[in-house]
Amino acid sequence: MNMNTRNRETALVVFSGGQDSTTCLLWALKRYREVVAVSFDYGQRHREELACAKEIAQQLDVEWHVLDMSLLNQLAPNSLTREGISVDQEAPEEGPPNSVVDGRNMLFLTFAAVFAKQRSITDLVTGVSQSDFSGYPDCRDVFIKSLNATLNLAMDTTFCIETPLMWIDKADTWRLAQELGGLELVKEKTLTCYNGVRGDGCGHCPSCTLRRKGYEEFLARYRKDEV
């Protein structure tokens, strides 16, 4: 295969088992003939996250791989991977929340791209969203575009990073899952809760609050159209 042309038949989805990446996996399954999902093991505090990703991949009959990113934890100690550090219950007034691992998305996407090239896959799908920009510089569209160009130069290949959620908010992410026929799957099987509880989660951590607010907004925005 000539790696300077895009292969539109296969996609590699960066997949954590959360709401966003599960919605992206459903999106990819509608658009590509073949979909491969890759998750990263970076010593997450909740091992449940990988179990959750595995189950969803199995349920959707998607080829699934885990890549070891334990070095990430070694480089950038943070509250999502170290037991001893508490997650901010509310976002800090300035700067990113303390759950940030610097450069994490860049490393994940770069590893995913190396993996993809081994398989002659040129389309990478990631659930990052600028709407959702909570102080993470590597969720911005400008970063993703710059990274795409850099990956192409690094490996002399035409990667296309697809970001179906880049410009939509949490309510429209629920709407997208519904359109893709996966609303119940996303609501019940995904894990976004900082305390490691699947589905609706613990109900009180910042991630559960954000998820619930998005869902309520989704109901308010769309359900009335359907009555």
- Contacts with a second copy, residue ranges (CB under 8 A): 67-72, 74-76, 102-103, 105-107, 110-111, 113-115, 117-118, 137-138, 140, 142-143, 146-147, 149-151, 153-156
Nearer to a second copy, 153 or 227 (CB): 153
Report in angstroms how near the CB of residue 40 gets to a second copy at its nearest.
10
Q: Looking at beta carbons only, is 67 or 160 nearer to a second copy?
A: 67
DSSP sequence for 83-115: TTSPPPSS--SSS--TT--TTHHHHHHHHHHHH
Sheet holding 34-41, edge to edge: 63-68, 34-41, 10-14, 123-125, 160-162
Q: Are 88 and 98 in contact (CB under 8 A)?
A: yes
Which of 114/202 has CB closer to a second copy? Answer: 114
Least separation in angstroms between residue 115's CB and a second copy is 6
Find the shortest distance in angstroms from Cβ 70 to a second copy: 8
CB of 191 to a second copy, least distance (A): 24
Shortest gap between Cβ of 114 and a second copy (angstroms)?
Answer: 5
Name the CA radius of gyration of the chain, rounded.
17
d(CA 128, CA 163): 6
The half-sphere exposure of 1 on its side-chain side, counting CA atoms within 13 A, is 15
Taking every pair of Cα atoms in the chain, the longest distance, rounded to a whole number of angstroms, is: 52
